[in-house]
Amino acid sequence: MSNLVVDKSKVPWWVSNVIVPLVNLTLALLVSGLFIFIAGENPIEAVKLIIYGSFGYIQGFAYTLYYTTNFIFTGLAFAVAFHCRLFNIGGEGQAYIGGLGVFLVAINLSFLPIPIVWLLSICGAFLFGAAWAYIPAYLQSKRGSHVVITTIMFNFIASSLMIFLLVDVIRDTNQMAPHTVKLPEEIWLPSFEAFSGILGIKIRYSPLNLTFLLAIASLFFVWFLVWKTKWGYEMRAVGHNTQAAIYAGISPHKNIIIAMCISGGLAGLLGVNEILGVSHKIQAGFPAGYGFTGIAVALMGRNHPIGILPAAFLFGILYQGGSEVTFEMPNITRYMFVAVQGLIILFSGALENLFRPQIESFFVRRLNREVNA
Amino acid sequence: MEFLSDIASLINSTLRISTPLVFAAMAGIFAERSGVIDFSLEGKMLMAAFVAAVGSYYLGNPWLGLLLAIIVCVCLSMLHGFASVTHKGDQVVSCVAINILIIGLTTALAAAWFGQAGLTPTLNEDQRFLEIHLPFADALRDIPVIGTLYSDILSGHYVFVYLAYLSVPLVFWIVFKTSFGLRLRAVGENPSAVDTAGINVFTMRYKALAINGVLIAFAGAHLSTAVNANFFREMSAGRGYLALAAMIFGKWHPKTALIACLLFGFTDALQIRLQGVELPAIGEIPVQLIQALPYILTVVLLAGFVGKAIAPNAIGQPYIKER
């Protein structure tokens, strides 16, 4: 190991940002295959099912993009906070509360012109998510409570709060199950079928809707914010070296709060997709683990929007293809894909340096040889 | 007398509920005193619960199940060490990875092996730990005060309850009174000084993580082979995080961490009793609020309204030996 000291400036960008992540991903998927084998199913068959389920037919592909939408939001949420060295594990709770924001705005202002309702609902989702992230941020910066523990606790608290609201306060009293009434149909976000209908293609139901474009816009928003603004620079400075940032006159407190609020707000946007786009009501537990998957998405995408887009798409494939697998293979449940996420976080996050020195020195030596030859 | 026996049963359940927290907090003290953050207590506890339940079911003996759980938890601790000590990966990321991996893997395997509900089969009396009744517990019950104290509070617990409270002085002795403990604390405070003194920082951190794995296995086995007779999905329910919060609140010290664990246990014991009870002036508290009490308490305690916590100096930083 010790003879593999690589001059970082000589390593081409595509080696550290494309080759190494791909090697790590491959390792994670190989171990996942082993788990599927232990569970008593054939991993190669599972891969075939995943590819068929996510690409094989247009409805399946639409589902893949619908999941991708959710993962872009939660992936960006984790990434923004991470640039300030904050581990926002609370995407799940922030998304839950964000959903409450969407619903309350949409149901109370549904008389306004439709694009304005949409815009205000999106703001509602963002603000509610941001507010839920504000308290852990404040406690981290002022009291030093570790943000990982507080955000996890806020997930539990959000879940209790929402169940309380759904059971006792905003429940649709005509139904037994704890969910709200449906939003009026006029303000639903247009679905993919509506668009494809205009183009003359008939497809069956899919949950893909206009929120997908909002997710793409969020990628640009985060890129601009983090890399092209003074605030983004300050935030990364705090994350990189807090002492140096203080010395340069940058307030860590302010940046921690802003980073966490934007992070929580992005997680909250998941509510737009789920409530304004798909189910049109709040159901108990609708964030269904998307918040946690966002961690894997962000780490795989190296916390950059350019990386998060393909990572979110990959998880979209895993989710949609995975549901095909659970349908066809009785021994595999959706929890197997939770384990796969854990492996991806392990190999592309914690163990990202496992083979990095070897791979980088391999390519540097090869390139040197070409130059000398 | 009614009141007294109420109090006794509240203390009794506090002791029982705190047990996994105490093991986890002691496990956390070893890891964090050596400079390695351990949020993965949650995942390891869950894994131990799964392995202990499956192990005792197939081997017919809860002690063998516990042994398997210890082996698996030590392996997970070694994985954490491999990622964050040897390869200098981010410690928090490593913990999050382990937690998510375990939540998925335990339930997926339970479903694959024992059916879709993700439960392991119910253990019979030979396959699980039973309550231990101390000698003369029944005979002494009628003596006032002493009888209640001995028969209703001290007697009738699972073996893990006694082990948990015995582990606290043991951990205190190891960490503060032995040369191993001195080195352990030094590695967490100033690893380069320890390295200069000729002690291998990496070996020390791996040893600390190994002990951490052993202790956390007891917490998991308590959940699935003592208080419950099977494993079910996400049965650790945030206890690993609560224990970590208790440890931080206890300033990385066994005695104060124990008090914090008991406080959590008491809140939990109380919340079970408060459900559905009409309180004077307030009325019935919503059950969801009561259930959220331990989590709210964690946030409040961590916010350090009772004094600021100072972590070991080198915590969270991988040690890089200079050439």
**CA quadruple A138, A143, A148, A149: dihedral, nearest 10:** -110
Considering only B198-207, B247-256, B267-276, which range has the smallest mean pLDDT?
A: B267-276
Distance CA A73, CA A291 (A): 9
Residue A287 domain-assigned?
Answer: yes
| Phi, psi angle pair for B171, to nearest 5° | -65, -40
ipTM: 0.89
Interface probe for A, chosen from B41, B72, B267, B288 (most Cβ of A below 10 Å), is B288
Q: pLDDT digits over A245-260, tens only?
A: 999 999 999 999 999 9
Banded pLDDT at A2 (limits 50, 70, 90): very low
HSE-CB at B27 with a 13 A cutoff on CA atoms is 36
Total tally of structural domains belonging to chain A: 1
Angle subtended by helix axes A252-268 and A211-228, to nearest 10? 170
The residues, any chain, with a CB within 8 Å of residue B168's CB and separated by 6 or more, are B22, B26, B254, B255, B258
pLDDT at B234 over 90: no
Cβ-defined contact of B96 to A331 (cutoff 8 Å)? no
The residues, any chain, with a CB within 8 Å of residue B39's CB and separated by 6 or more, are A148, A149, B92, B95, B96, B99, B240, B241, B244
Mean pLDDT of all residues in A346-372: 86
Q: What is the pLDDT of residue B307?
A: 56
Distance CA B240, CA B256 (A): 17
Residue A361 domain-assigned?
Answer: no
Name B27's bridge partners.
Answer: none
Q: What is the pLDDT of residue B261?
A: 94
Interface probe for A, chosen from B231, B289, B299 (most Cβ of A below 10 Å), is B299
Residue A4 domain-assigned?
Answer: no
Q: B292-309: buried (b, 16+ CB within 10 Å) or exposed (e) per residue?
A: bbbbbbbbbbbbbeeeeb
The residues, any chain, with a CB within 8 Å of residue B22's CB and separated by 6 or more, are B164, B165, B167, B168, B243, B257, B258, B261
Domains delineated in chain B? 2-118+153-302 (1.10.3470)
Return the percentage of chain B with pLDDT > 70, whole number: 95
The residues, any chain, with a CB within 8 Å of residue A4's CB and separated by 6 or more, are A357, A358, A361
Considering only A310-324, A359-373, B259-273, which range has the smallest mean pLDDT?
A: A359-373
A109: domain range? 42-328
Residue A16 domain-assigned?
Answer: no
Contact A147, A87 (CB under 8 A): yes
Closest CB to A35 among B94, B105, B245: B105
Q: Judge whether A138 is closer than 8 Å to chain B, CB to CB.
A: no
Q: pLDDT digits over A305-344, tens only?
A: 999 999 999 999 999 999 999 989 988 988 999 999 999 9
Q: Tokens at residue A110, please?
A: 């549904």
Distance CA B217, CA B213 (A): 6
Mean pLDDT of all residues in A162-167: 91
Contact A159, A285 (CB under 8 A): yes
Q: What is the pLDDT of residue B223?
A: 95
Q: Judge whether B98 is closer than 8 Å to chain A, CB to CB.
A: yes
Interface probe for B, chosen from A153, A165, A348 (most Cβ of B below 10 Å), is A153
Contact A284, A162 (CB under 8 A): yes
Cβ-defined contact of B116 to A157 (cutoff 8 Å)? no
Residue A273 domain-assigned?
Answer: yes
Contact A215, A68 (CB under 8 A): yes
Length of chain A: 373
Cβ neighbours of A342 in B, within 8 Å: 97-105
Cβ-defined contact of B295 to A153 (cutoff 8 Å)? yes
| Residue whose token pair is 């491999």 | B82
Phi-psi region of B234 (alpha: psi -120 to 50; beta: other; left: phi over 0): left
Cβ-defined contact of A146 to B88 (cutoff 8 Å)? no
Residue A6 domain-assigned?
Answer: no
pLDDT at B110 over 70: yes
CATH code where residue A279 lies: 1.10.3470
Residue A97 domain-assigned?
Answer: yes
Contact A132, A89 (CB under 8 A): no
Mean pLDDT of all residues in B135-158: 78
Chain A neighbours among B 156-185 (CB < 8 Å)?
A: none
Contact B20, B222 (CB under 8 A): yes
Banded pLDDT at A1 (limits 50, 70, 90): very low
Q: What is the pLDDT of residue A357?
A: 85
Cβ neighbours of B87 in A, within 8 Å: 350-351, 353-354
Closest CA to B20 of B149, B208, B127, B167: B167
pTM, 2 dp: 0.89
B279 membership: H or E segment, kind and range: strand B278-279
Residue A13 domain-assigned?
Answer: no
